Structure 1
Amino acid sequence: MMRWDRPAGGREPAAAALLGWLSDAQAPRVCLVSGSEDCGKSALLAWLVHHGSRPGGLAERTVHAVVPPSPDESVLGTVWSIADQLGVVARGPWELVPVLAADGRRTVIVLPDVRGEAVAELVLALADVPGIRLVIESRSGSPAHRLLSGSGCAELDLDLEQWRDERRLAQWQASQTSQHVGAGLPEPGAVVDLWDPVAVCRADASTVTAAYERARSGEYGGLREAWLRAGQSLCRDGESASRALTLLAALGDGADPRLASALVEAAEGSGWCWEWSRVSGDLVPPWPGPVSALAVGEGPLKGAVLVTGPGGSVRVVRVGDGGARGRIVVGGFQPQSVSVMADGTVLVLDEGGRVHADGSWVARPAGSGIARLLDEGPTGREVLLAALRGQVGTAIACAAGPDLGMVVFGDAAGGVRAFGDWEGAAVLHRGGVTAVAALGMPVGSEGVVPLVYSGGADGTVRAWSPGHAPMAVPLAERDCAVVSVDAAMTPSGPVLAVAWGDGVVEWIEVDSGARRTFRPGPPVRAVVLAPDGRLVVGMDEYLVCLTPRPPAQPALGGVQKGP
């Protein structure tokens, strides 16, 4: 068992009480460590974090998230820090609280030097979540202390003599050493020009976040709104080119046009080229609305991306510039997944997992109405659609084939099932399938080989070809659920795009295994890949299109340059 050192300054009684609180299932969910300035609050929390963050300790003493102290206290900065450390995505308290409540696991969060009422109110909201324990440092008499101390929390007032062992204090002072002295608050950072996109990309993220949080809506030419949309990613990634790309993706069309130009230049060192964004409030072209699912168009819908959302319709936008191309009304339900067959038939899953087909974009067959009536029996398309209507799924995908193509369903039991030109079924996941993609892979003289990629709640992406055993090893695996998967044959070969539950989007070249990532900031709802290599990422507030930036090529004399 891991050994814990003694706390500094004779604080053994307080440390014992803190550990006792952590192990007591009936104790209040908040422990408030209070006292006057320089009484040892920070040192006690540093001791807890130092030991509680190490592997191999008791589960009840494990610390899962620590918000770094900052002279610029910010509710959003606190939310984003907690969410990032816990592997979830939250734009604000209104998302963090339900996300942690849905998780349900025991989680210990440490917040040093809480001063204001706003962060204290966040603490109280989190304390209502079963399984959450919060250790809060706050100076006695501060607004935060006044609010929390009256909330029924457990309080360790380090100004009280009972929380210090004088003999141990004397021994500690005589030793003149301490491994756990609190560092206190960092000094305030340099003043940042909040109108300058390059400056904010290089500045301390907590300083920028706090300043924009205090500012009024509409200030700073649209830069403030973009920062607050993408803040969790911006506070995580300190690389200025990646920050510039993230800000650019979240910038609305009402922003000062000089901002986009400056951010495009600043983002040149990132791994992606920004193509376009459509942000909530955009008018020309209009924002297509919140995204629940995406699909790349086929047949008469080629060159388009289909966007489904809570409005019960499917919006069709051009993949080249995000402009509006049309709209499909699918009925009075909330679309959960969407895909397009080779002839342009749009397949949509409703909330119950039932498929609805729309053929309004499909070319009409030649011949007179009488001739069609005299045809014997239903068409192959009609037979396939009838078979699909009897299925219940959690996700749907289509791929072109020699005739009708292939339609794939994922289900709540971890299985996938293929219909059409290739048929079969396999169980690929422990738990439900959350996303599927299908691809017809050209393979030499064999023609086309069908490939199915599926993502699950178990945090894996797996591959399967109907008629064969699934690949034994996942193509990708992480400690969070897969949200969306797509696959395409691009100029660089077969590529997978995967959106994960912690807000990361991965681009994976199947042949080489090469990967690159994009983290937009908000929760990602869906991703799709166009055959030309464009990646479209859909979220509640915006839609962004990117292409991977080609790697720099070596030139004569060792100088690096782009192709």
Structure 2
Amino acid sequence: MSTVSPPDAPGGPDIAAWPPPAGPAGTYGPALLDWAADPNPGRPRVCLIRGARGSGKSGLLAWFLAGAPAHPHTTVHAAVLAEGLFTDAFAWDLARQLGYGPLAPARLVDRLAADQRPLLLLVADLHRSGRGPADRPLARPRNLVEDLVVPLLELPQTRALIEVGDSGLLDGWAGAGAAETVDLGDPAFAPGPGPAAYDVLTAGLTRTPDGRIRWDEATGDVREHALDQALRAPEPEPAVRELLTDPGFLLHGSPVSVAACLADDRIPAPPGLRQAWRLAAPHLADPELADPEQSTAERAALLHTAALGSSPTLARYLLPLARNHVYSAAWARPDTAVTALAAAPGEPGALVAADPLGDLALLDAATGQSTAAVPSPSTARPNGMAVRRDWSMLLLTGTGALLPTGEDPAALLGRIAVYHGQAALSRPGLRPSAIGQSPCGSLVVVGDEQGNAHVWPLEDLPAAPLSRALHAASVTAVTCLALPDKTHTLVMSAAMDGTVRLWETSADPMPVPVEQRPALVTALAAAPTAHGPVLAVAWNDAVLHLWHLPTGHVRAVPLITPCSALALTPDCHLVVGGTEGAYALALDTVRLWD
């Protein structure tokens, strides 16, 4: 076992950039900085903070974190407070901090393995992690260590500063010389009382006339620990059942505690709750959304969206609260996978939807009902499409081929397909990678792998499109709007470099992106609304950005399922489609950007 040594390397961090060290920070802080800033690749990448409760471990970590940005090697990329987290919840938090959005543990490890950028991770209270029934693996810290922490530490770019207390966690790493150790010892410490028993915890809470607890009036500590203490009761079943069937608790209680409880198949749950919680919990566990100061309506809208397709009873309870928010779910069809969406010109509120088998259907954006089948080529598997008023279509397949279909007497769409097919044969970088249309169907826009956007006006088709190089990477999504004056066209595009660009076609493209993030755009949609044109941008880190184009204001909305297709109607129904189904949000554009 190795221990940290005093700092002696030149060019290391300046301790003056940290708060004045006192207590354990004064004793161990300089050596801790030396470990963190040492560029020697032979030095252990893991530093364990040991010591009994009350020895000052958390204070030492807080001191280190306060000054960490002062030196490149000490900059902490993510700090996870592990107390009360099980493996999934730890992964959600870490992935969110790293900019990936909430991810399952295996997907997080895969993303980091592919990323390979240096990562300094700080983990507090690893020895106090775990949640759920005490006899299940999720309740034990070692489960988190084996399932996620060790795979993270095995990545060669990972360094980690981990508080393990006196638990013995990761002793094997220290014993093999793969970790250094700071041991703060075993001071005399009298632990304070833990959370009260469930019946004591809930005894004085306000109740409704029918006996339900008013969880919105309970303290944050009570809401956080109520289910944990119910599981520890001598006879837990009645209390646990009461909580899991109480929509008020599901809305205000600990989402992590509920998720850990529902992971135990022995515990009965209302029909559909497990499915709804699988979708909602990664977002409800976001510290910003879990903050009791945040709007109850926002949490209700999110949980209502997740419950609508699987738990009708919960969805009905939440609907009045959800409708107070700036968005609420109009419908959900988890059984309907969608690969492409496009407005049906001349049919207000109607969309054409494609499924993974290539079948097309007319979809009512307000209700989610399939109103008619649409003829489609049996061999096409579109992941994008443009639809004309005469129901002829231009389908984009996964191979980059454009396929015209339907009655097209003037062969306009066929000419577009031939143009791009010939261009791709002569220059492979010009192969189409995205397609979009204006809501009225008068314009088609094609994006290619070289980052260009090509605009085709269908009313008077030119020999070649109006084209501009908008990106330095392959276009992932594109859409356009013909503005009400009928003389200006807005093209909106996104690419593999994480940029979103706006181009008004009568002028040069804007010199800088309107947005750039360390994520990928998977779909775009735009529509003219009563309050001006709106752009919807779906990102692969489970967030949707709604832009009010006249003002530049943006609103972030969680995506509860992966999105590969978007559609926005003028009456502000936003339809989200992907491999896990489709759902629609009704947007209140009066308040959305307040």
- State the TM-score, normalizing by the size of structure 1: 0.78
Q: Contact 1:451–1:465 at 8 Å: present in 2 too?
A: yes
Deviation at 1:388?
3.6
In structure 2, C-alpha distance between the alignment counterparts of 1:113 and 1:525, rounded to whole Å? 38
Q: Contact 1:114–1:136 at 8 Å: present in 2 too?
A: yes
Is 2:416 the partner of 1:384? yes
Q: Deviations along 1:271-296, whole A, 9 cap, x unmatched?
A: 113211112xxxxxxx212x444333
Q: Contact 1:406–1:418 at 8 Å: present in 2 too?
A: yes
User: Paired residue for 2:211?
Assistant: none
User: Paired residue for 1:92?
Assistant: 104
In structure 1, C-alpha distance between the alignment counterparts of 2:557 and 2:350, rounded to whole Å? 23
Gaps of 5+ in 1: 162-168, 170-182, 280-286, 366-377, 554-563
Q: Given residue 74 of structure 2, which amino acid in structure 1 is its aligned partner? A: R
User: Paired residue for 1:33?
Assistant: 49
Secondary structure in 2 aligned to 1:322? coil
User: Paired residue for 2:542?
Assistant: 503
Is 2:368 the partner of 1:343? no
User: Paired residue for 1:82?
Assistant: 94
CA spacing shift, 1:414–1:544, aligned 2, 3 Å: same
Q: Given residue 444 of structure 2, which amino acid in structure 1 is its aligned partner? A: V
User: Paired residue for 1:133?
Assistant: 159
Q: Given residue 3 of structure 1, which amino acid in structure 2 is its aligned partner? A: A
Secondary structure in 1 aligned to 2:436? strand
In structure 2, C-alpha distance between the alignment counterparts of 1:104 and 1:246, rounded to whole Å? 33
- State the TM-score, normalizing by the size of structure 2: 0.74
Q: Contact 1:232–1:522 at 8 Å: present in 2 too?
A: no
In structure 1, C-alpha distance between the alignment counterparts of 2:379 and 2:115, rounded to whole Å? 31
Secondary structure in 2 aligned to 1:259? helix
CA spacing shift, 1:539–1:58, aligned 2, 3 Å: farther
User: Paired residue for 2:570?
Assistant: 531
Which structure 2 residues correspond to residues 317-332 of structure 1 after superposition, within 5 A?
A: 317-324=363-370, 325-326=372-373
Q: Deviations along 1:447-500, whole A, 9 cap, x unmatched?
A: 453321112334432222335311335444445433321111223332211123
Is 2:465 the partner of 1:434? no
Q: Given residue 158 of structure 1, which amino acid in structure 2 is its aligned partner? A: D
Which structure 2 residues correspond to residues 115-514 of structure 1 after superposition, within 5 A?
A: 115=127, 116-120=141-145, 121-142=147-168, 144-145=169-170, 153-158=178-183, 189-192=224-227, 193-214=243-264, 216=266, 219-236=269-286, 237-238=289-290, 239-251=295-307, 253-255=309-311, 257-279=312-334, 287-289=335-337, 291-298=338-345, 303-309=350-356, 311=357, 314=360, 316-324=362-370, 325-326=372-373, 335-359=382-406, 362=407, 379-390=411-422, 391=424, 392-399=431-438, 405-420=442-457, 421=461, 423-443=465-485, 447-514=486-553
Q: Contact 2:488–2:505 at 8 Å: present in 1 too?
A: no
CA spacing shift, 1:234–1:342, aligned 2, 3 Å: same
Q: Deviations along 1:514-560, whole A, 9 cap, x unmatched?
A: 4433113444433221232211123442422112125479xxxxxxx
Secondary structure in 1 aligned to 2:226? coil
User: Paired residue for 1:561?
Assistant: none
Deviation at 1:351?
3.1
User: Paired residue for 2:115?
Assistant: 103
In structure 1, C-alpha distance between the alignment counterparts of 2:563 and 2:511, rounded to whole Å? 28
In structure 2, C-alpha distance between the alignment counterparts of 1:80 and 1:233, rounded to whole Å? 9
Across the two proteins, how many residue pairs are aligned to each other?
A: 500
Q: Deviations along 1:172-210, whole A, 9 cap, x unmatched?
A: xxxxxxxxxxx9999773415232223222223333333
User: Paired residue for 2:584?
Assistant: 545
Q: Contact 1:91–1:229 at 8 Å: present in 2 too?
A: no
Q: Contact 2:339–2:353 at 8 Å: present in 1 too?
A: no
Deviation at 1:63?
0.6
Q: Contact 1:75–1:118 at 8 Å: present in 2 too?
A: yes
Secondary structure in 2 aligned to 1:78? helix
CA spacing shift, 1:332–1:202, aligned 2, 3 Å: same
In structure 2, C-alpha distance between the alignment counterparts of 1:50 and 1:440, rounded to whole Å? 51
RMSD over equivalenced CA pairs, Å: 3.6
Query: Sequence identity, in percent?
Result: 29
Q: Contact 2:519–2:540 at 8 Å: present in 1 too?
A: yes
